């Protein structure tokens, strides 16, 4: 089956922006932090191989590789432009479609997809494919913007986000259950799009007082 090219496929300007724009740099840093924390918390056995779907130029994957140096780290990216500017020889990026992963079943301990699912024409297929390529007890980690704040951001920036579908945690959990994942955790994070001192402490306080709705991003972790 042939899939449509995702509207959110990016070019080299995206990689440049993640080095020069404060908000883009912060989002990369914060998502990377959340992913690494989730791996440590939910997959404490040996990690041999990791897949990052929608890896772009591989910036996040490089940080993951540094945290888990024993693991082979693969990225999947639709944009050949972005693949070509990767300079980290410790990771391998393959061109392909998130909705039809070019990997054998039962291949990975960890699959990561940050800010990807909202761009896809068939997001459930990505979740299903992630389940297929995970080894038994492997985990899938997905992040996506909160729908309300995603809309606000679009109105403020007046830029087209190319988000084909918006997800709240309820919808994400439904997708995970449909594809047989055991849901380990759902959470919101990120109080500011640019970051500030003591943000993690403030976010923890907001969660304590059930003020999670003020946070801009979402994460869900599922186990095969």
Domain locations in the chain? 12-223
pLDDT block averages, 10 residues each, the chain of length 224: 49 64 86 97 94 95 97 96 93 96 98 94 96 98 87 53 82 97 96 89 92 93 98
Cα 172 to Cα 182: distance, rounded to the nearest angstrom: 12
Cα 73 to Cα 53: distance, rounded to the nearest angstrom: 11
Q: What is the DSSP letter of 194?
A: S
- What is the four-CA torsion angle of 77, 20, 217, 37, rounded to 10 degrees? 80
Answer yes or no: are the C-beta atoms of 1 and 100 closer than 8 Å: yes
Q: What is the pLDDT of residue 224?
A: 97
Answer yes or no: are the C-beta atoms of 183 and 173 closer than 8 Å: yes
Answer yes or no: are the C-beta atoms of 111 and 179 closer than 8 Å: no
Answer yes or no: are the C-beta atoms of 95 and 80 closer than 8 Å: yes
Cα 74 to Cα 61: distance, rounded to the nearest angstrom: 8
User: Which top CATH class is 12-223?
Assistant: alpha beta
Nearest to 15 by CA among 5, 28, 6: 28
pTM of the model: 0.90
For 100, list phi and psi in degrees, rounded to 5.
-150, 80
Nearest to 75 by CA among 52, 49, 105, 109: 52
């Amino acid at each position: 089956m042939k899939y449509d090219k995702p509207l959110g496929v990016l070019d080299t300007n995206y990689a440049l922006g993640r080095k020069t724009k404060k908000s883009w740099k912060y989002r990369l840093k914060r998502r990377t932090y959340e992913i690494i924390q989730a791996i440590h918390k939910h997959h404490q056995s040996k990690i041999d191989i990791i897949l990052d779907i929608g890896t772009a130029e591989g910036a996040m994957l490089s940080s993951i590789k540094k945290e888990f140096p024993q693991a082979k780290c693969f990225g999947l990216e639709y944009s050949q432009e972005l693949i070509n500017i990767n300079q980290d020889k410790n990771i391998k990026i393959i061109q392909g479609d998130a909705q039809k992963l070019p990997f054998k079943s039962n291949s990975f301990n960890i699959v990561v997809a940050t800010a990807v699912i909202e761009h896809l024409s068939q997001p459930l297929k990505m979740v299903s494919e992630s389940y297929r390529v995970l080894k038994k007890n492997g985990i899938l980690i997905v992040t996506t913007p909160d729908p309300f704040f995603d809309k606000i951001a679009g109105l403020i920036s007046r830029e087209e986000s190319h988000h084909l579908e918006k997800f709240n945690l309820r919808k994400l959990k439904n997708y995970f259950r449909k594809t047989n994942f055991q849901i380990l955790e759902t959470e919101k994070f990120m109080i500011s799009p640019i970051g500030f001192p003591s943000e993690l402490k403030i976010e923890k306080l907001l969660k304590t007082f059930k003020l999670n709705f003020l946070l801009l991003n979402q994460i869900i972790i599922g186990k095969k």
